[in-house]
Amino acid sequence: MGASKTADYTLIQTDLARYCKALSHPARVAILQLLLERKTCICGDIVEDLPIAQSTVSQHLKELKQSGLIKGEIDGTSVCYCIDESEWIKATQLLRSFFDGFELNSNTCC
């Protein structure tokens, strides 16, 4: 079953995996794109934009919050969501240095 102790991997590996897991579903990518575009959204805005039910959107928002990439602030009956700037920068840098680790024309097999 799904053991895979966290201690078996480095912090960079688990951080990268965590950010990527947040982006591993097209609905969550779409939510983030909407937040990038509009800067802030309430949950209802996202529900209107996506082809999935409100409860499902809420669940995806919860996962995005847990990844750290977004945060939400209660404002009356609604919740205002936005990108978490410092986490976004951290993810950007982590991914950049990971993908930049590839040297062009260096793969000798295949």
Partner DNA sequence: TCCTTTTATCGTAATATTGCGATCAATATG
Partner DNA sequence: CATATTGATCGCAATATTACGATAAAAGGA
- Total binding residues for its own copies by CB under 8 A? 57
Token readout for 3 is 């053991």
CB closer to DNA, 58 vs 92: 58
Residue 27 touches DNA, criterion: CB under 7 A? yes
> Distance between the two ends of the chain, CA-based, in angstroms?
33
The site map against its own copies for 45-74 (x = CB under 8 A) is -----xxx------------------xxx-
Q: Which does 91 bind (CB under 5 to 8 A by kind): its own copies, DNA, none?
A: its own copies
Residue 27 touches its own copies, criterion: CB under 8 A? yes
CB closer to DNA, 60 vs 84: 60
- Total binding residues for DNA by CB under 7 A? 30
Residues in CB range of 38: below 8 A, 6 or more apart:
45
Spatial separation of the C-alpha atoms in residues 105 and 107, rounded to whole Å:
6
Footprint of its own copies on residues 78-107 (CB under 8 A)? 80-85, 88, 91-92, 95-96, 98-102, 104-107
Residues facing 41 on adjacent strands: 81
Considering all CA atoms of the chain, what is the largest pairwise distance in Å, rounded to the nearest integer?
59
Residues facing 8 on adjacent strands: none
